[in-house]
């Protein structure tokens, strides 16, 4: 398949600790999107990065796109129980007007109160 | 709000049965997708469609087919269900970002 690899697969942290998930590709990514799936829910779009070295923040979440556009990271500062869920990265590939999303394997985060 | 509705939340089917999973979106999106989600494997693309009656295979199309007769509706068909198709199936639609349905949990016994 053409999946993008994510590490770690699982992570348990104490509430208040930081958390980072990494997304790696063997080929250059045209863009990277991040999604969050709460337990029992469906993935919901968080953000998109397009430029090499781009960094974006959403409150306690920091998203980064690597300089070579082959990797990306999502960092959560001072986790809260509401951060529990699975985080996916995804690449949007457009070819002749068609849209195809390739998702990473996901990182499941558990936050212990 | 974008709404992607999957017809069944939980299904139990027997091996060899034909299974239909229906998905409807209300945002006039041209692109629709079917994924399956399995632990440790993430979201894997089964089929996608970029227009009515147009479809393309994703990464794991074997054992599945799809139908897109109307723009708002995209159906996933398991011609002869097998136990290794037990999974969570997610429909999505969109363009520069995609919106997912609630998911359909299929168990094949």
Q: Within an 8 Å CB–CB cutoff, is residue A92 touching chain B?
A: yes
Query: Is the pLDDT at A3 greater than 80, yes or no?
Result: no
Among the partner residues B45, B95, B100, nearest to A42 by beta-carbon distance: B100
Among the partner residues A1, A41, A99, nearest to B59 by beta-carbon distance: A1
For chain B, how far is it from start to end, CA to CA, in angstroms?
37
pLDDT at A96: 80
Give the tens place of pLDDT for each residue, A29-77: 999 999 999 999 999 999 999 999 999 999 999 999 999 999 999 999 9
Q: Within an 8 Å CB–CB cutoff, is residue A80 touching chain B?
A: no
What is the mean pLDDT of the segment spanning B31-59? 93
Q: Do B33 and A102 touch (CB under 8 A)?
A: no
Rg (CA), chain B: 13
* Residue A3 DSSP label: P
pLDDT at A98: 83
Q: Which residue of B has its CA nearest to A41?
A: B102
What is the mean pLDDT of the segment spanning A72-93? 96
The encoded tokens of residue A4 equal 């993008």
Confidence of residue A10 (pLDDT cuts 50, 70, 90): very high
The encoded tokens of residue B103 equal 């998911």
B85 within 8 A of B44, measured Cβ to Cβ:
no
Q: Do B50 and A42 touch (CB under 8 A)?
A: no
φ and ψ of B29, to 5 deg? -75, 140
Query: Is the pLDDT at A1 greater than 70, yes or no?
Result: no
Closest CA to B76 of B29, B12, B10, B32: B32
The encoded tokens of residue A68 equal 């070579």
* Residue B24 DSSP label: E
Q: Do B40 and A105 touch (CB under 8 A)?
A: yes
Q: Do B35 and A103 touch (CB under 8 A)?
A: yes
Confidence of residue A2 (pLDDT cuts 50, 70, 90): low
* Cα–Cα dist A5/B42, whole Å: 9
The encoded tokens of residue B88 equal 């969570």
Q: How many CB atoms lie within 10 A of CB B5?
A: 14
Which residues of chain A does B94 touch, with a Cβ-Cβ cutoff of 8 Å?
99
């Amino acid at each position: 398949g053409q999946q993008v690899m994510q590490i770690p697969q699982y992570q348990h942290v104490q509430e208040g600790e930081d958390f980072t998930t990494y997304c790696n590709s063997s080929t250059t990514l045209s863009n990277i999107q991040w999604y969050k799936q709460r337990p029992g829910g469906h993935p919901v779009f968080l953000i998109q990065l397009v430029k090499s070295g781009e960094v974006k923040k959403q409150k306690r979440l920091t998203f980064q796109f690597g300089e070579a556009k082959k990797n990306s990271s999502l960092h959560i500062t001072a986790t809260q129980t509401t951060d529990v869920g699975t985080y996916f990265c995804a690449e949007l590939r457009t070819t002749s007007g068609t849209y195809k999303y390739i998702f990473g394997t996901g990182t499941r985060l558990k936050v212990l109160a | 709000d974008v709404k992607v509705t999957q017809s069944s939340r939980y299904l139990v089917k027997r091996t060899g049965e034909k299974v239909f999973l229906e998905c409807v979106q209300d945002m006039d999106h041209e692109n629709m997708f079917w994924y399956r989600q399995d632990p440790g494997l993430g979201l894997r693309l089964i089929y996608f469609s970029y227009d009515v009656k147009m479809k393309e295979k994703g990464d794991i199309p074997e054992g599945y087919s799809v139908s897109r007769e109307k723009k708002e509706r995209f159906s996933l068909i398991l011609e002869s269900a097998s136990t290794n198709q037990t999974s969570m199936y997610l429909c999505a639609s969109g363009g520069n970002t995609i919106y997912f349905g609630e998911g359909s949990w299929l168990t094949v016994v």
